[in-house]
């Protein structure tokens, strides 16, 4: 039995509220169970210096956690003067994931920055950030299209992510913190709306895993991402 009482293939309740930030070109608050992440998209007409003159756009991301997003207070990274390795790794993952779902030629020479701020953490914050970040990106691109700043839709497909792992010897989807902290195997799956893989992060945390178990986790991830994409579509209607 999972600590939450969910069955092996059951996702946490998902909700995505859009338009939560007045000034951002795109924004949403995504809730995956008790993990809540505020995602905003900001458009800059100038691309990064290394892309000037190439005709290509860029999507990047920043990620952070509020001090009391967890059960004990974490010092703000700004107060420490540097980002942790974990933070840098997560925001690079978010940026890579979202760029996989966009046509950078159609976007044109501009940059969209996705800010993901974790308000409350209960496992799966990077996956929630990718899923919510895509919604914020979609809303920002909608504004570009409405203004006539882009001639064709640069969004290729939905992008969403879900965690899967082996907990108490069983493959489970959408791990909360109680499961994540005890999982023998932990993985994050980033996929498109059409079910194409963007990135898979898998590691043996306490026990090795077999190829068959990895396949079962992938099956769970495909179904979980399908639910997340449905939630994205519902939020944008």
C-alpha 41/C-alpha 137 separation (Å) is 6
Q: What is the torsion angle, in degrees rounded to the nearest 10, for the CA atoms of residue 148, residue 152, residue 153 and residue 157?
A: -170
How many CA atoms, within 13 angstroms, populate the side-chain half-sphere of residue 36? Answer: 9
State which H helix or E strand residue 216 sits in: helix 211-236
**Residue 124 in marked binding region:** yes
Q: 133 near 228, Cβ under 8 Å? A: no
- 203 beta partners: 186
**Residue 70 in marked binding region:** no
Q: Which two tokens stand for residue 227?
A: 């639910």
**3-state SS string for 113-175:** EEEEEEEECCCCHHHHHHHHHHHHHHHHHHHHHHCCCCCCCCECCCEEEEEEEEECCEEEECC
What are the two backbone dihedrals, phi and then psi, of residue 155, each rounded to the nearest 5 degrees? -75, 120
Q: Which residues are annotated as a binding site?
A: 86, 124-126
Q: Which residues are annotated as a binding site for phosphate?
A: 86, 124-126
């Amino acid at each position: 039995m999972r600590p939450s009482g969910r069955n092996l293939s059951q996702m946490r309740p998902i909700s995505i509220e859009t338009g939560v930030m007045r000034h951002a070109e795109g924004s949403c608050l995504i809730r995956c169970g008790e993990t809540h992440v505020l995602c905003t998209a900001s458009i800059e007409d100038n691309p990064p210096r290394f892309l000037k003159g190439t005709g290509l756009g860029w999507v990047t991301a920043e990620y952070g956690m509020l001090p009391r997003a967890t059960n004990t207070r974490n010092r703000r990274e700004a107060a420490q003067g540097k980002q942790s390795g974990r933070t840098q790794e997560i925001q690079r993952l978010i940026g890579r994931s979202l760029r996989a779902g966009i046509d950078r030629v159609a976007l044109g020479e501009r940059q969209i920055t996705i800010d993901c701020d974790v308000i409350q953490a209960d496992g799966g914050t990077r996956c929630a950030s990718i899923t919510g970040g895509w919604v914020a990106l979609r809303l920002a691109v909608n504004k570009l299209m409405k203004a006539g700043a882009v001639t064709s839709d640069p969004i290729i497909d939905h992008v969403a992510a879900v965690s899967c792992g082996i907990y108490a010897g069983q493959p489970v989807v959408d791990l909360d913190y109680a499961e994540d902290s005890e999982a023998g195997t932990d993985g994050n799956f980033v996929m498109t709306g059409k079910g194409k893989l963007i990135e898979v992060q898998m590691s043996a945390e306490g026990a090795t895993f077999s190829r068959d178990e990895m396949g079962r986790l992938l099956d769970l991830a495909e179904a979980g991402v399908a639910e997340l994409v449905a939630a994205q579509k519902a939020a944008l209607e």
